[in-house]
Chains A and B, each alone.
Chain A
Amino acid sequence: MSDLKVVGQNKRRYDGLGHVTGTATYVDDVFIPGTLVVKALRSPVHKGIIKNLDVSKAENLPGVHGVITYKDVPCNTYGYLTLDQLVLVEDQIRYKGEPIAAVAADTVEIASEAIALMKLDIEKQTPVFDPVEAVKPEAPKVRPEGNVLMVGERPYRLIYNGDIEKGFDQADEIIENDFFFPSQEHAPMETQVSLAVPTDDSRLTIYTVAQGLYFLLKQMQRILGQGEDVSSRWSQRHQYTHHGMGFSDIKYISCNVGGAFGGKTELHADAIAALMALKTGKPCKWRWTREEEQLFSARHSPWLMHFKDGVTKDGRIVARQVFSRHDAGAYTGLSSYVVDKHAYYVAGPYHLPNVQVKCQVVYTNKVPTGAIRGFGVTPGTYACEIQMNMIAEKMGIDPWELRFINAMRNGDQLATRTKMDSVYLIETMQKLAEISNHPLDAKFAAMNSDPREA
């Protein structure tokens, strides 16, 4: 080990000196002369129809350089996987805080005053917040096509292996439990912020907080490029507004990020800052307030998980059926990806001869959910491992032993029927027992991950 240059050695952070001297540049530390302050008019209701929006007073306020509504967005729909989210609301409001219009002004005070001068007439509608209520036929519709994301023909992602009913027949006990994983906000120290600067060669430079700059670039190119896929076409010089920007027309700069935890994966401030810069021809900065960050940025979705396990007297789980509900909020975002991820992992690292996982995306009138620290997997692992402890308690088996009995070994299959190799769960648990001084029965201390006898 000692002759290795990196492994086993302490290495200083490459950005550590910037952190301790205050010279590390975060987006908000970039100052371009003449930068305007952006503020957004956000929906005050959870659900409603915009009957009328009058921004003329705001536009005429001295110090205001421009106001945008959905009419100023070349392509108003975007999204990671489903192009269903709106940059600015057209008529249907789907969650409280959804941006409706934006303003760029000389100062934050003028921008705030302009927002207050916008006249918004909304016909309120009844929202739905609880995913269990939202799937009922009489529930208010978050979306016209229904409150459940269809996965092909089915209203859930289905993954199974073996025969679940046969598995339950072999069991001595059926153990069922419900688990709830609440919503969570990332709360990074640095709020969402974007600085968009029009440059004299008709391009746009955007300083942003990003965890995946190219994920966002693709979406920004759609929004500013009228939905047209211009990524393959090399840049043509365009006028600023409404002529379609390509990949090479946007110079995207990711500054130091002041904490993200997944929360800077989604497009938050960039589109509106960029549209304001195109509208005014001036640099525009949109920094969300702490309140906006806490209330309106993408968050960890709440999950409801139901486990039904068939267990034999000797502690083998012969059948595991899981039904999960993921509360996506008002838009799809990464939900169709996260239900897949959840479905692959939720049954746990165990040998389950009969397993069935159903995982459903439900829409509610809440802030759209997004990436955070192992999203999809974290709630699944939480539910699965508590279920294991509850099985152990009910069957009178030591929780460690229950995990050894059911541990996945080489040659076992996941619910996806993927045949596993390089499995070291048993060895890992043996090491854990050793370092935590947990006594193991000789039978389990001698186990290994070799394929089980057919």
Chain B
Amino acid sequence: MALLEIKVNGREHRLEVDATANLLTVLREQLFITGPKVGCETGDCGACSVIIDGKLRRACLTNAMSVSGSEITTVEGVGEKGALHPLQTSFYENYASQCGFCTPGMIMASKALLDRNPDPSEMEIKEALSGNLCRCTGYVNIIKAVKAAAPKVSDQGGEK
């Protein structure tokens, strides 16, 4: 066992973890943060995508101890307290979810994109989401939602 110190969605955590545990297991099974989903555990589907120190990462491929001291954002932490993030509103209004299982990962990948590129082209959106699978194949509406959210995210003066 090892001592992990991480900040998740603005909240500090100190917890004992198995030194070999991946971040996805720790988030879900020890912190009960279940937004990141278990889709494949091999880094192929993107359902577990989270943002670690500003970078989009696969929680299932990330050893938890390797990110000790880091700041992590999951879908639960993208909005301000009591308000949805523009991407969340936009996904909701543009019917960008069907079964919803890929949605948390899609939102994190979209957020990582808009944080570094506030006005992406359709091609750039597609490229940014290329690591996230939606088996309901609702990609058209997902891309529409990211496009619609982009000006609203930049209006907020970028993201924290």
Contacts and interface: CB of A to CB of B under 8 A. Distances in A.
Interface in B99-122: 99-104, 107
Nearest to B91: A20
Nearest to A108: B25
Closest 5 CB pairs of A and B: A22-B35, A19-B100, A258-B101, A22-B75, A29-B34
B98 to A, nearest CB: 8
Contact of A190 (B28, B87, B93, B101): B101
Given A16-B92, A290-B41, A22 B76 contact: yes
A405 to B, nearest CB: 36
Interface in A252-303: 256-261, 287, 289-290
B136 A26 contact: no
B143 to A, nearest CB: 16
Interface of B: 28-29, 32, 34-42, 44-45, 47, 74-76, 79, 84, 87-89, 91-93, 95, 97-104, 107, 133-136
A21 B41 contact: no
Contacts of B74: 22
B40 A20 contact: no
Interface of A: 12-13, 15-26, 28-29, 31, 186-191, 256-261, 287, 289-290
B101 A20 contact: no
Residue among A16, A17, A256 with most chain B CB within 10 A: A16
B91 A190 contact: no
Residue among A19, A31, A289 with most chain B CB within 10 A: A19
A23 B36 CA distance: 10
Contact of A189 (B88, B91, B92, B133): B133
Nearest to A189: B101
B45 A20 contact: no
Nearest to A257: B99
Contacts of B89: 20
A190 B99 contact: yes
A189 B93 contact: no
SS of A interface (majority): loop
Contacts of A25: 34
Contacts of B45: 189, 290
A157 to B, nearest CB: 32
Given A22-B34, A31-B32, A259-B135, 19 more contacts: A12-B93, A16-B97, A17-B92, A19-B100, A20-B84, A20-B87, A21-B75, A24-B100, A25-B34, A186-B135, A188-B99, A188-B135, A189-B102, A190-B37, A191-B38, A259-B98, A259-B136, A261-B135, A289-B41
Contacts of A17: 92
Contact of A259 (B36, B42, B93, B101): B101
18 contacts: A16-B92, A17-B92, A19-B97, A20-B87, A21-B75, A22-B36, A25-B34, A26-B37, A26-B101, A187-B135, A190-B37, A190-B39, A257-B99, A258-B37, A259-B99, A259-B101, A259-B136, A287-B38
Contacts of A188: 99, 101, 135
A19 B91 contact: yes
A187 B136 CA distance: 10
B135 A13 contact: no
A21 B37 contact: no
A374 to B, nearest CB: 16
Given A20-B103, A189-B99, A190-B101, A290 B35 contact: no
Nearest to A188: B135
Nearest to A11: B95
A20 B104 CA distance: 6
Nearest to B98: A259
B42 A290 contact: yes
A28 B35 CA distance: 11
Given A21-B76, A188-B135, A189-B47, A15 B41 contact: no
A113 B28 CA distance: 23
Contacts of A257: 99
B127 to A, nearest CB: 21
B115 to A, nearest CB: 17
Contact of B135 (A21, A189, A256): A189
A289 B88 CA distance: 29
Contacts of A13: 92, 95, 97
Nearest to B133: A189
A21 B39 contact: no
Residue among B40, B42, B45 with most chain A CB within 10 A: B40
Given A19-B100, A31-B32, A12 B92 contact: yes
A258 B103 CA distance: 10
Residue among A21, A26, A189, A257 with most chain B CB within 10 A: A189
